[in-house]
């Protein structure tokens, strides 16, 4: 199955973009793309190699694992949310997202859809507009943060 790609250009160098993307994930990530949803999401971030969110009643959902971490340049993580929005317990059964920071560009590649069997292609299609939207929100946040 084809991987999905998205790219955005920013006005900050790659090391700054990397730090904002990873250290401030909970400040810019669109809450509508969380298990908790808008109004319920209280925090999101990366801690000890786990991508997590905190929702109502301080319930923690772990939705990914850092697979590769090259500070300032690239990181890869598992996307452990299945097509039916049920957690995928094992990273090797989940899709994989690679985010690279090169100059002022941020590039996302989301792959491994075949790991979801027959549901993989439809799940992939549902993401065609997700990553451009997410990167757009990231660019907005970077712009606000760096102009302040």
pLDDT tens, residue by residue, 73-110: 999 999 999 999 899 999 999 999 999 999 999 999 99
User: If you average pLDDT over every residue of the chain, what do you get?
Assistant: 94
Report the distance separating Cα 37 and Cα 61, nearest Å: 12
52 domain-assigned? no
34, part of any domain:
no
Structural domains of the chain, count: 1
Taking only the tens place, the pLDDT of each residue in 14-45 is 999 999 999 999 999 998 888 787 788 899 99
Task: Let me know if residue 35 belongs to a domain.
Answer: no
Residue 39 lies inside a defined structural domain of this protein: no
Residue 135 lies in a domain: yes
Average pLDDT of the residues in 40-61: 93
Residue 147 tokens read as 């102009």
Domain that holds residue 94: 4-25+61-147
Is 46 domain-assigned? no
pTM of the model: 0.94
CATH number of the domain to which 65 belongs: 3.30.530.20
């Amino acid at each position: 199955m084809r991987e999905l790609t998205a790219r955005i250009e920013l006005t900050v160098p790659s090391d700054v973009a990397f730090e904002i993307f990873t250290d401030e994930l909970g400040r810019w990530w669109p809450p509508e793309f969380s298990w908790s949803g808008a109004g319920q999401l209280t925090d999101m971030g990366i801690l000890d190699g786990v991508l997590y969110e905190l929702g109502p009643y301080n319930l923690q959902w772990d939705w990914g694992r850092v697979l590769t971490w090259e500070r300032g340049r690239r990181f890869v993580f598992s996307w452990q949310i299945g097509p039916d929005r049920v957690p995928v317990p094992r990273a090797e059964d989940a899709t994989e997202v690679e985010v690279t920071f090169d100059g002022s560009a941020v590039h996302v590649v989301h792959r491994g859809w075949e790991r979801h069997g027959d549901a993989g292609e439809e799940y992939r299609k549902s993401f065609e507009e997700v990553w451009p939207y997410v990167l757009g929100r990231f660019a907005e946040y970077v712009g606000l943060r760096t102009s302040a």
